[in-house]
Amino acid sequence: MTLPTRWPQQVIAVLLIVAAGLFVVGVTTEDDNDTHSDEPTAEAAQAGEHNEASESAETIEAEAAERSVNAAEATEEPEEDEERVLGVGIESPLLVTAAVAVSLLLAGLVWHRPNRRLLIVIAVVAAGFAVLDAAEVAHQLDEDRTGLSLLAGAIMALHATAAALATHETTTTAAAHEPKPT
């Protein structure tokens, strides 16, 4: 049994789709981990040393005012931990959506109408994503997030494989179209 000649392009498409899906999973998982607060819940505060019922009304009002000031300052100042490239948050919903859309668009195009120029674009884009994924692996390792670093490593491998296969297909396609010496 021989495989159809389009199988490399279809594999590239599947690699891009799977990488995009895992990227979305990673971003949402990281966002979920970042939103957990270190502040105690209301129930934990009631069970703690302080019994708010015994505090004076002035103390309660002062604490409430301090919390509202802290909340206002937190909304005005951007997070220092947010990753930024050229002043743009690289994990912003807009850029995440754009990266996923580009991946899905390229996957659809290579599945239906593969050509040499498209394969070159895919090789460059996938290689660029792989470099960004490598940086994300390092970042997650610095943050001691082993699970997310493994996920980023898997996404990096998918992008690198797509780039390598697209490069291979580009060179194979070019060699197949060259005139043979007679």
Strands (E), the chain: 84-85, 88-89
Q: Could you tell me the pLDDT band of residue 75, with boundaries at 50, 70 and 90?
A: very low
Count of structural domains within the chain: 1
Judge whether 90 lies within some domain: yes
Q: Could you tell me the pLDDT band of residue 91, with boundaries at 50, 70 and 90?
A: confident
**Cβ–Cβ < 8 Å for 119, 170:** yes
Q: Minimum mean pLDDT among 52-56, 62-66, 113-117: which range?
A: 52-56
Provide the residue range defining the domain that includes 128.
Answer: 7-35+85-177
Strand partners, 85: 88
For 149, the enclosing helix (H) or strand (E) is: helix 146-177
Q: Is the per-residue pLDDT at 164 higher than 50?
A: yes
pLDDT digits (tens, 9 = 90+) for 4-26: 577 899 999 999 999 999 999 99
Judge whether 74 lies within some domain: no
Q: What pLDDT does residue 70 have?
A: 52
Residue 30 has φ and ψ, to the nearest 5°, of: -65, -40
Judge whether 161 lies within some domain: yes
Stretch 45-56: mean pLDDT, rounded? 47
Pairwise pLDDT comparison (115 vs 89), residue with the higher score? 115
Judge whether 156 lies within some domain: yes
In percent, the amount of the chain with pLDDT more than 70 equals: 61
Stretch 154-160: mean pLDDT, rounded? 97
Judge whether 44 lies within some domain: no
Stretch 27-35: mean pLDDT, rounded? 79
Judge whether 40 lies within some domain: no
How distant, in Å, are the alpha carbons of 19, 34, 148 from that of 145?
19, 11, 6
Q: Is the per-residue pLDDT at 167 higher than 60?
A: yes
Q: Minimum mean pLDDT among 28-42, 63-77, 107-121, 153-167: which range?
A: 63-77
Q: What pLDDT does residue 3 have?
A: 47
Q: Is the per-residue pLDDT at 77 higher than 60?
A: no
Find the Cα–Cα–Cα–Cα dihedral 110, 116, 121, 122, rounded to 10°: 40
Nearest in space to 12 (alpha carbons), one of 176, 160, 182: 160
Please give the full DSSP string across 132-147, using - where no structure is assigned: HHHHHHHHHHHTT-HH
Computed over every residue of the chain, the mean pLDDT equals 77
Q: Is the per-residue pLDDT at 46 higher than 90?
A: no
Judge whether 62 lies within some domain: no
Nearest in space to 33 (alpha carbons), one of 89, 91, 76: 91
Judge whether 165 lies within some domain: yes
